[in-house]
Amino acid sequence: MRNQFEVSKEDGAERIEKYYLRDDELKKLIAVQLERYETLEASDLQSLREPYDVLFAWREFTGTPDGPRGLLKKALETDEGFINTLSKLRIVSSSAHKGVPHLPEGYLKTLVDAATVKSRLEELASSEGPQRERASSLLGVWWPLT
């Protein structure tokens, strides 16, 4: 759907070759998908196989990051939710990662205040709390902007 959405904005040959929906069909599909996104709960986000695909598609379809930001805000409220969500947001996006999932600051910064997230992660990693070990592990795979 995201591909069709992007191609729908094109003119000329690329649109003719790759756009197989009518504009009204795409509009209906997006409306259905947005309805699904808007009913997501924090636990749903943590169970998605590719959460960034959902978050970024939602942002693209609406033209605003408000929906994804609101969902992430809920998902990050508790320390356990914070760690579970960040664990789910790890990805392998670079051959330099050698198959090890990293937590990409560049992706996060489009949806949350990445500096605040990292600071909270550092606090949890240095605490004596139950999330200490998992927070330390996530800090170890934090992929900073360069």
- Summarised one tens digit per residue, pLDDT across range 3-51 is 888 888 888 888 888 888 888 999 999 999 999 999 999 999 999 999 9
Q: What are phi and psi of 142, to 5 degrees?
A: -65, 125
Helix axes 23-38, 66-75, angle to 10 degrees: 20
Helix, strand or coil for residue 90? coil
Residue 16: the pLDDT is 80
Residue 69: the pLDDT is 97
* Amino acid identity at 16: I
SS3 per residue for 36-81:
HHHCCCHHHHHHCCCHHHHHHHHHHHHCCCHHHHHHHHHHCCCHHH
